[in-house]
A and B are shown apart, each in its own frame.
Chain A
Amino acid sequence: MPSARSGSADAEARKFCCEGCRAVARLLATARLDREFYALKGERVSPVKPRLDAAEEYGALDEAPFRGDRRAGAELEFFLEGIHCAACVWILEKLPELAPGVESARLDFGRAVLRVRVSAEGSFAETARLLVRLGYRPHPVRTPDEADARLRASDRATLRRMGVAAFAAMNVMIYSISLYAGVDGGEATLFRALSLATALPALTYGAWPFYRAAWTALRAGRISIDLPISLAFIGGFAESARQAWLGTNLLYLDSVTSLVFLMLGSRYVLARLERAETSKSGLLRALLPAHVERIRAAGGADGTERVRAESLRAGERFRLGEGMRVPADAKVVAGGGYVDLAFLTGESKPTRVVPGDPVWAGSRFLDGEAVAEVVASPADSRLGRLQARLDGWVVKRSARTERSDRWAAIFLAAVLGFAGLMLALYGAADPAEAVRRSLSLLIIACPCALALATPLTLARAFRAAAANGILLRDPDVLDRVAEIRTVYFDKTGTLTRGDPSVREWRWLRELPHGERIEALSAAYTLEAGARHPYGRAIARALEDTPGVRPLAADVFTETGGAGRLMLVDGVSYRIGRPDTRHFEEPVVEFARDGRAIAWISLEDAPRREAADVVARVRRRGLRARIFSGDAELPVARAAREAGVSEWAAGLSPEGKRAAIADAQADHGPALAIGDGVNDALALAEAHVGAAVTRGGGEANLESALASAQVALLGTDLGALPDLFEISDRYRRTLARNAIFSALYNLAGASLAVSGVVHPLVAAIAMPVSALTVYASTVLGFQRPLRREGR
């Protein structure tokens, strides 16, 4: 975003944090939308990711399976990275004005999903490129399909049933109050008839899903939670109808209809929570390129063709160039270069590959040129198999909600039983008084804390988590977090930023100041457009050095694996790998006229908040440990800086899982937090697995997300202590609600049975108690989370 919030007059003159923002400003100015946009955009914006792959191919979006018939209009959903604020909603829904052929664009802010509809002339590829230029990285999710429509229809049906149940409950309550107040004669008959008539739709149409589920379970030979619920509904209605027929006021239709509403509401809230689960097949899509350059079997001189990555088969050959993602497990057959395996192994140093070496799907080819032969197609690759394993994980229903559902049914049965018992015992002695007391009991008893407060508390906890950048996939995580004894941190990308930065310039000889600035400027010019992470780190480090400016190079070459070379005024500069010495840590050599003048050492710098987070985890009495696939030296350094004394280095993904399994056997439940595919198995093994986005901005998250129950979406590790805090509040609120509800119901029931409360008083006490429980739930999450150390 523009660093100064001046007027919108001149997009060119202002300073921008990145190319993306400048492009957005230019685009907005062209469409004359800039004034409104910058008025909306507040001060607090997180920096837009500068790394937008302009070369990324979206051509496939206009072909099957995304688009069946090119001549017709079509709809596609994109998941967007980089949704921040209201301005995003605004600009994204302006797409029809910015891009020809786009008919409509609607953003679902909560899910960060944009639904785009294009006309016959429109193009999804063009739309995706425009989204990139606007600073959002689009991932095509899918075309809205039948499953989607079914889900939506079932959502709507539940809402309708809830509406009917609420309508019935409210109206029956009004009639009931008149009955309790003691109307008689013709009017009492009228109100009884109206109550029955109003309750009927709630108990047939409204409660239908419970009957159906109970029946389905029965036919399969199981007794589900829906059975007692259904019996309570039907029994309550039948008994009320009988009482109405007998001419008494012993109707509990208000309780029954409220319960239908509460139960439906609870199901609805839970269904929506479960929907928040992210798409499962994200892993392959996130890490595989859309297109590859396949080498034709019978080709000419440069016989390559662009094909979709998924279509690669074993035995076929493809070309690899700087910065490309490897599409399949393959063997290098010609050329060579350096490969970043960090996502798979956590190794921070690029690995050199020569003909004969394997390269794995999903890794990034950093520099060099190579031709590789596919060994395993994308779906059969190591990555693909990992994905298949992860797809087996399913979101479970919360055990706690199931329990509370069961208790609600038992509760209702117990209350009905008690009331019946009292009538049977005292009905003969004093019929009027017995009826009055059982009526009070039926009215005053309230299962709210069980039926709706539990899902509501869960929903509040999910909301609080989302507001702090924590995504929960499994409701029971909130309970499990409280049992954690050990926290396992991954190093690369979790405790560290996951992106190299310059640690030290070691000049090999003294240079006068002017000469040094000249050399630094040369280094900056060399790396300004680099795609290699080291090059970018060097350019970033030099950007703000006073005096450093881009030079006009006469000759500029990228010498494959050897680095970048240029000629300025007859002097040659080169930045590349040192060929004379071997270093423990990543080091590049800066040479002038063929002689090394400096060594630049790079490191994966720790996140600023890492030590603080570790300290806060410690303060809860938990053990902190590091497990990493990286070499000993960087791991030991990161451990020292984060204040962790126990660490393990050089672990394979399987080794990490074994480490977690052992630790859990010895020290009790563990939480593992990591950022990449190499952590996926460990995250799945741990009692709680948490995925975190890399500080460096690489969107590697989806991979770890596939196996973790928790995702920390912000770029801040501080969300981890927040998760503990939210779990504490969740459990505290539930306990408070349960205690309050138990006390209320016990006291209420005793008072009703002993005849102290009049049914009318009971009718007021019941909603008041329900409101109290809801207020307690809402207040439990009201206070903002405390964040120390910043």
Chain B
Amino acid sequence: MNIVFVLAPLSLGLAAVFVAFFFRSVDRGQFQDLETPARRMLSDDNDRKE
């Protein structure tokens, strides 16, 4: 069971990485407009730059 002493903090570190990813997506405005992307994907050209 001693392995828990290593794994539990490790999992916390991993979660922190995910939080960092979340921050990044927030900063890029992915949560700004929740309605248009659902419709935008209906057009099938994939060469959008943004």
Interface residues of A (CB under 8 A from B): 36, 40, 85-86, 89-90, 93, 104, 106-110, 152, 155-156, 159-160, 163-164, 167, 171, 175, 186-187, 190-191, 194, 197-198
Contact = CB atoms under 8 A, between A and B. Distances in A.
B8 A36 contact: no
Contacts of A108: 33, 35-36
A197 B12 CA distance: 10
B27 A40 contact: no
A305 to B, nearest CB: 42
A89 B18 contact: no
Nearest to B28: A156
Given A36-B43, A109-B36, A109-B39, A160 B8 contact: no
A113 to B, nearest CB: 9
Nearest to B35: A110
B35 A109 contact: yes
Given A104-B50, A163-B19, A198 B12 contact: yes
A167 B8 contact: no
A641 B17 CA distance: 67
Contact of B42 (A90, A110, A156, A167): A90
Contacts of A198: 12
A163 B22 contact: yes
Given A109-B36, A156-B27, A171-B15, A187 B42 contact: no
A194 B8 contact: yes
Given A109-B35, A163-B19, 15 more contacts: A86-B39, A89-B36, A90-B43, A104-B50, A106-B36, A108-B33, A109-B39, A160-B23, A167-B15, A171-B12, A186-B5, A187-B1, A187-B5, A191-B8, A194-B8
A163 B42 contact: no
B23 A163 contact: yes
Contact of A190 (B8, B22, B26, B36): B8
Given A152-B32, A155-B32, A191-B8, A160 B39 contact: no
Contacts of B34: 110
Interface residues of B, number: 27
A85 B42 CA distance: 10
A190 B19 contact: no
Contacts of B9: 194
A194 to B, nearest CB: 6
Contacts of B36: 89, 106-110
B23 A190 contact: no
Contact of B40 (A89, A155, A159, A186): A89
Contacts of A90: 40, 42-43
A155 B31 CA distance: 9
In order of increasing CB-CB distance, the 5 nearest A-B pairs are A109-B36, A86-B39, A110-B35, A90-B43, A86-B42
B35 to A, nearest CB: 4
Contacts of B5: 186-187, 190
Nearest to A167: B19
Contacts of A104: 50
B9 to A, nearest CB: 7
Contacts of A156: 26-27, 29, 31
A190 B4 CA distance: 9
29 contacts: A40-B42, A85-B39, A86-B39, A86-B40, A86-B43, A89-B36, A89-B42, A90-B40, A90-B43, A108-B33, A108-B35, A109-B35, A109-B36, A109-B39, A110-B33, A155-B32, A156-B27, A159-B26, A163-B19, A163-B22, A163-B23, A163-B26, A171-B15, A187-B4, A191-B8, A194-B8, A194-B9, A194-B12, A197-B12
A109 B32 CA distance: 12
A146 to B, nearest CB: 17
Contact of B33 (A85, A109, A197): A109
Contacts of A36: 43
A156 B33 CA distance: 12
Nearest to A191: B8
- With most chain B CB atoms within 10 A of its CB, the pick from A109, A186, A187, A191 is A109
Contacts of B15: 167, 171
B4 A160 contact: no
A90 B37 CA distance: 11
Contacts of B40: 86, 89-90, 93
Contacts of B23: 160, 163
Contacts of B12: 171, 194, 197-198
A63 B5 CA distance: 66
A89 B1 contact: no
B48 to A, nearest CB: 8
Nearest to A185: B1
Nearest to A268: B31
A163 B31 CA distance: 12
A167 B17 CA distance: 11
A160 B42 contact: no
A511 to B, nearest CB: 54
Interface string B6-21: 0011011001101100
Contacts of A164: 19
> Which residue, A89, A90, A106, A186, has most C-beta atoms of chain B within 10 A?
A89
A119 to B, nearest CB: 15
A138 B1 CA distance: 67
Contacts of A186: 5
A134 B23 CA distance: 38
A523 B16 CA distance: 76
A782 to B, nearest CB: 19
A191 B1 CA distance: 13
Nearest to B11: A171
Nearest to B4: A187
A201 to B, nearest CB: 9
B35 A167 contact: no
Contacts of A191: 8
B29 to A, nearest CB: 8
A86 B42 CA distance: 7
A107 B42 CA distance: 14
Contacts of B26: 156, 159-160, 163
Contacts of A85: 39
A186 B6 CA distance: 13
Scoring B5, B34, B42, B43 by chain A CB atoms within 10 A of each residue's CB, the highest score goes to B43
B17 to A, nearest CB: 11
A186 B15 CA distance: 23
Contacts of A86: 39-40, 42-43
Contacts of A160: 22-23, 26
A90 B42 CA distance: 8
A110 B33 CA distance: 8
B36 to A, nearest CB: 4
Nearest to A164: B19
Contacts of B31: 155-156, 159
A155 to B, nearest CB: 7
A155 B39 CA distance: 23
A648 to B, nearest CB: 42
